[in-house]
């Protein structure tokens, strides 16, 4: 359920705020590492600190598979069924694949079925 505190990514996927009520000891250790890194680099710009943290914690943006390159999404879109993005699945920490859903009048799905048979 969406709240005012939640944000959307460029892909329209809702990002839930961090649950500070469920902080674990591992979370605390990670924050301590971040604090130590910041303190050890007091004159470093925020951009450089961000790069250092991304490197230290092995954080990287994964490439996203384009759902519109698939035959089913192309044909569905062509007949007026808009593929909807529900989220992403991380494939072996190498690539993100979209979770897609379709919603339409059943007659549109019959038409899509015929298109896919061609």
In a domain, 2, yes or no: no
Judge if 47 and 76 occupy the same domain: no
Judge if 45 and 81 occupy the same domain: no
User: Which domain range does residue 37 map to?
Assistant: 7-56
64 beta partners: 96
Judge if 13 and 40 occupy the same domain: yes
Cα-based distances in Å from 61 to 41, 54, 79, 94: 24, 10, 33, 10
Judge if 75 and 98 occupy the same domain: yes
Candidates 46, 28, 27; CA nearest to 38 is: 46
**pLDDT, tens only, 63-108:** 889 999 999 999 999 999 999 998 888 777 678 899 999 999 999 9
Q: At what angle do helices 25-40 and 46-56 cross, to 10 degrees?
A: 140
Overall pTM > 0.75: no
**pLDDT, tens only, 4-26:** 555 556 665 556 677 888 899 99
Alpha carbon distance 15, 26 (integer Å): 21
Alpha helices by DSSP H, listed for 1-118, are: 25-40, 46-56, 71-78, 106-117
In a domain, 62, yes or no: no
């Amino acid at each position: 359920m969406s709240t005012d505190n939640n944000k959307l990514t460029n892909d329209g996927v809702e990002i839930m705020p961090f649950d500070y009520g469920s902080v674990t000891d591992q979370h605390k250790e990670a924050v301590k590492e971040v604090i130590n890194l910041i303190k050890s680099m007091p004159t470093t710009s925020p951009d450089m600190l961000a790069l250092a943290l991304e490197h230290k914690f092995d954080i990287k943006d994964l490439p996203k598979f384009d759902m519109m390159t698939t035959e089913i999404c192309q044909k569905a879109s062509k007949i007026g069924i808009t593929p909807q993005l529900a989220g992403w699945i991380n494939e072996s920490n190498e690539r993100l694949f979209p979770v897609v859903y379709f919603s339409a009048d059943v007659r549109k799905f019959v038409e899509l079925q015929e298109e896919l048979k061609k």
